[in-house]
Structure 1
Amino acid sequence: MTRRVALVTGGSRGIGAAVAVRLASEGADVVITYARSAERAAAVVTQIEAAGTRGLALEAEAADAGALVAAVERTVAEFGRIDVLVSNAGIAPYGPLEEVTLAEVDATLAIHARASFVLAQAAARHMREGGRIICIGSSLAERVPYPGWTLYAMSKSALTGLTKGLARDLGPRGITANLVHPGSTDTEMNPADGEEAEEERRFSALGRYCDPADIAATVAHLAGEGGRNITGTAVVVDAGTTA
């Protein structure tokens, strides 16, 4: 991925940070967005630069469409191009169906579905042949094994239609679009030593959590030469939860 430029949203922690550092290790210059912690984002940029590539952190709320478009434009202005987009920023709404508010519905769809569409649209205006668009979904879009996740599953399922549509729209230009569905992954949002962790392990065929590096490895494959003929599909990395 030498001389390629990647933009990873929600890149200051968890899966996003792992993806950013992995792409840098493979030679890409990487821009990340963050919503709150400039200090943590700066630490990720330091790791990116330690790999010998260029890094940049931009503040951008995933629910702010204007900020997302600006992040794409800034990436192109600073680095001259954008080759890889990883739409990763997300939230994890959870609770009884009867208690979900319309405000929560709107916020979740804005951060997961609308943000991914806006980013893809903005990036596609600049991408050349060989471009890659990768959304981070969830294994809960494939299987919902317990109650309380209806809104989250619905919002992540929307990325399936987006991915298939992008593959058709951008395929003639040699640009691929794919979706990666992580299962239970050891992050601050869902730590492997959390209250629900043992139950989540029981749902997986391998009986374990994924590591953010597992997700990053799959993203790197799709973003690299090995992913050139993979488009319009979802890859599930979930230790067999959806088996």
Structure 2
Amino acid sequence: MSGRPVAVVTGGSRGIGRGVVLALAGAGYDVVVNYASNADAAAEVGKEVEARGGRAHLVRADVSRADDRRHLVDETTAAFGRIDLLVSNAGVAPSVRADLLEAGEESFDRLVDINLKGPYFLIQLVANTMVAQQAAGRVERPKIVVISSISAYTASVNRGDYCVTKAGLAMTAQLYAARLAEHGINVYEIRPGIVETDMTGPVKARYDDLIFNQGLTPIRRWGQPDDVGRAVVAVATDLLPFSTGQVIDVDGGFHLRTL
């Protein structure tokens, strides 16, 4: 084994994914930056990875498509010969927030395909690749991180499809943690709270009020993509070797129940 470890980050060109990519580059990783459409944003992230001393490989792939998932893995192994870490981060919000009693199937199908089905089968593909690479002596102690959301357990009745997919991701992490432990592959779920990204931009004023005036989170600030990136680095650098299936809340304390 030689060279820097390699991470694959889906949805790595913007938002939380970008924060994760840059944190990993700073921690000594080469990074495959997966993106679905925004090539310019991916190129900018790639330059920032290189400025941190890492190598970046940009791969356009839609995780909801089987051929694209295979392309992503094949491109990674062709470029670097190994996968030490998968960060399954790619996801989308509903195009329109629709009341639960009125929402249609088109949005539901879109979110299930991208947010749940895609990650579920990408993890399967990468896990099999990791097992084979371990047998060949190319990697040691590979890891998988699933980026979910507080929406895995927080009901938002105007975006039920999003909540359902995030709840499914939480179980996906549990399932793969149980299955892969015998292969020495630890799986973690990182559960971000309200993070300042372009996805949350349209509701910024509402959440500003909830956070700063109403105390929605004990830590009264917005989360930043780097907050999630730091949590991924803790996993990536093997600081939690005796944990798997662990839920790591990065939410400013939102999950706390207080009186």
Same fold (TM over 0.5): yes
Q: 2:164 aligns with which of 154, 159, 171?
A: 154
Equivalents in 1 of 2:210, 2:12: separation in Å?
25
Where does the alignment leave 5 or more consecutive residues of structure 1 unmatched?
Answer: none
Pairing of 1:214-229 with structure 2 (within 5 A): 214-229=227-242
Amino acid in the other structure paired with 1:18: G
Q: 2:154 aligns with which of 143, 160, 167?
A: 143
2:90 is matched with 89
Q: What are the Cα deviations for residues 178-227 of structure 1, in whole angstroms up to 9, with x where unaligned?
A: 11111110101113982322244132122221011101100111122102
Amino acid in the other structure paired with 2:151: L
Q: Classify the secondary structure of the residue corresponding to 1:53.
A: coil
State the TM-score, normalized to the length of structure 2. Answer: 0.88
How far off its partner does 1:119 sit? 1.3
Where does the alignment leave 5 or more consecutive residues of structure 2 unmatched?
Answer: 135-139
1:68 is matched with 69
Q: What are the Cα deviations for residues 79-100 of structure 1, in whole angstroms up to 9, with x where unaligned?
A: 0000100011111123211222
Is 1:172 equivalent to 2:143 in the alignment? no
2:218 is matched with 205
2:28 is matched with 27
Contact 1:8-1:30 at 8 Å conserved across structures: yes
Identical counterparts, % of pairs: 34
Q: 1:125 aligns with which of 112, 125, 128?
A: 128
Is 1:233 equivalent to 2:239 in the alignment? no
Q: Classify the secondary structure of the residue corresponding to 1:226.
A: coil
**RMSD (Å), alpha carbons:** 1.6
Q: Classify the secondary structure of the residue corresponding to 2:205.
A: coil
Equivalents in 2 of 1:34, 1:226: separation in Å?
28
2:44 is matched with 43
- Number of residues of Structure 1 aligned to a counterpart in Structure 2: 241
State the TM-score, normalized to the length of structure 1. Answer: 0.94
1:4 is matched with 5
